[in-house]
Amino acid sequence: MGFSRKEYEFLSEIGLSSGNLGCFVNGTWKGSGPVVSTLNPANNQKIAEVSEASIQDYEEGMQACSEAAKIWMQVPAPKRGDIVRQIGDALRSKLQQLGRLVSLEMGKILPEGIGEVQEIIDMCDFAVGLSRQLNGSVIPSERAPTTPLVTIATTKLVAEVLEKNNLPGAIFTSFCGGAEIGEAIAKDRRINLVSFTGSSKVGVKVQQTVNERFGKCLLELSGNNAIIVMDDADIKLAVRSVLFAAVGTAGQRCTTCRRLLLHESIYRTVVDQLLDVYKQVKIGDPLEKGTLLGPLHTSSSRKNFEKGIEIIKSQGGKILTGGGIMESEGNFVQPTIVEISPDANVVKEELFAPVLYVMKFKTLKEAIEINNSVPQGLSSSIFTSKPEFIFKWIGPQGSDTGIVNVNIPTNGAEIGGAFGGEKATGGGREAGSDSWKQYMRRSTW
């Protein structure tokens, strides 16, 4: 079936059509659950339809996956590494199309969409090297993301690699589905590890359900990340970094900078420069060259932004720029800077949008206390040139986040390093140097 818009025709190059089956079960595509439409957040027009999983599809898939896992476990680690290498190569061959799809379906600007896919490719490369260092059995992880076309396109590439290597398709089992499928995954004793990325509120429920059956959880939850700018900092570097960290992905990264802590002596200078660069941010279609701020992912996200602004105002927040929605068919909002007290309740929560809270401090000790005062603990950064400040920041009495940066933004991370956070961020580590340990069963003999 053809697509309603010519600009969507590239999707056929990655195996998508206007109607798609959303479950890869036992090497076969199916979907006997609800039919949902995936929308372009830039105009809220339908891209394509997806038939989601039913509980029957899920059960069939998990039975086959459990059996296929026994075969996968017997494949030597170097051979498994070679399969992952081939998956990385398959993704690399469709990098531009997949990146464009991420931008189309999620709303990231095109360089970010391509970068997102490149990150997966880099992780595959990293895993190939790791396969030469490990013994043991890797446990599969099932996920239910909110971008079904990306899931389907990626699964098709992985399925081709498995088929080429005469391995069961059920090794890679995917389900597009809603809460019913998510609950089934959390309760399923056949799934030794549940990896969940989402809000802290939902993450707590997932963890409780998995814990009840003594399963393992890998949680990557909310972030409420701060950048501290000391009085000796390179202000131009700091301003560019804050813009990238606060506005990138329309504020919808877990590592987005949401709080900016400025030394009182440079407060006005930094704020004025930020207001200046915010005026230059091009808002528009994420697929268009030069766009820096695309839409929020869904119309409900835009409504949450509006509610959040009202709460901010009711708690004494002063809107310095932005604070409104853009009149359009899409889910566009204005990048926003808010002057507010660090003690306001709204500052302790994650508003998944391009809203930046700015606040003053007098000493590094006070700044660290503000940084650590929120429930979340994912990423943080300090801008300074003084070694004594840096060592204080990265030491035991410094930042309490899982990712602690110096003179770089809060968003983005080296794939070789453990990615994850503490406190209400969940404590899980995805990618990098430690994540593989969570996907394996450890035995002493």
Instruction: Report the catalytic residues.
Output: 220
Contact (CB, 8 A) for 381 and 228: yes
| Closest to 222 (Cα-Cα) out of 344, 375, 430 | 375
**What DSSP state is assigned to residue 333?**
B
Rounded Cα distance, 75 and 84, in Å: 12
According to DSSP, residue 13 is labeled G
Whole-Å CA distances, 325 to 70, 109, 304, 350: 52, 18, 11, 19
Do 378 and 425 meet the contact criterion of CB atoms below 8 Å apart?
A: yes
Contact predicate 340/315, CB 8 Å? yes
Question: Helix H segments across 16-76?
Answer: 55-74
Cα→Cα distances 419→113, 255, 362, 412, Å: 19, 10, 31, 10
| CA–CA gap between residue 201 and residue 317 (Å, rounded) | 25
- As a whole number of angstroms, the distance between CA 425 and CA 220 comes to 6
Tell me which residue of 17, 15, 20 sits closest to 4, measured CA to CA.
17
Any idea what DSSP says for residue 120?
A: H
Rounded to an integer, what distance in angstroms lies between the CA atom of residue 36 and that of residue 398? 47
H/E element holding 158? helix 148-164
Spell out the alpha helix ranges (H) of 168-279. 179-187, 200-212, 235-247, 267-278
DSSP 232: T
